[in-house]
Amino acid sequence: MSSSKYLKSRDLKIIRAWINRVKRKNEKPKKSHKKQARKRVKKQLRYKEVGCGKKRLVLDLGKRSVLKIAISVNGIKDIEREVEMYRKAPNKLKRNLAKVRESGKGWLVMKKMKRKVAKTKRTKVKARRLRKRFERSGISAGDLFSKKSKRVRWANIRRGRKRKIVVIDYGNFKFKR
Residues 69 and 135 in one domain: no
Residues 53 and 82 in one domain: yes
Selected residue with higher pLDDT from 54 and 157: 157
Residues 33 and 89 in one domain: yes
Residue 174, pLDDT score: 93
Residues 28 and 70 in one domain: yes
Asked if the structure places residue 3 within a domain, the reply is no
Tell me 156's DSSP state: G
Residues 78 and 136 in one domain: no
Residues spanned by the domain of 18: 9-111
Stretch (H or E) spanning 22:
helix 9-25
- Integer Cα distance of 65 and 59 in angstroms: 9
Asked if the structure places residue 4 within a domain, the reply is no
- Integer Cα distance of 32 and 137 in angstroms: 38
- At 1, the pLDDT band (50, 70, 90 cuts) reads very low
Residues 131 and 104 in one domain: no
Selected residue with higher pLDDT from 168 and 27: 168
Instruction: Residue count of the chain, please give it.
Output: 177
pLDDT digits (tens, 9 = 90+) for 84-128: 999 999 999 999 999 999 999 999 999 999 999 999 999 999 999
Against a cut of 0.85, is the pTM above it? yes
pLDDT digits (tens, 9 = 90+) for 62-76: 989 999 999 989 999
CA distances 170 to 15, 26, 39, 162, Å, are: 21, 22, 26, 21
For residue 167, pLDDT over 90 is answered with yes
Average pLDDT score, the chain: 90
**Cross-strand pairs, 100:** 110
Going by C-alpha positions, the residue among 124, 165, 171, 123 that lies closest to residue 143 is: 171
For residue 29, pLDDT over 70 is answered with no
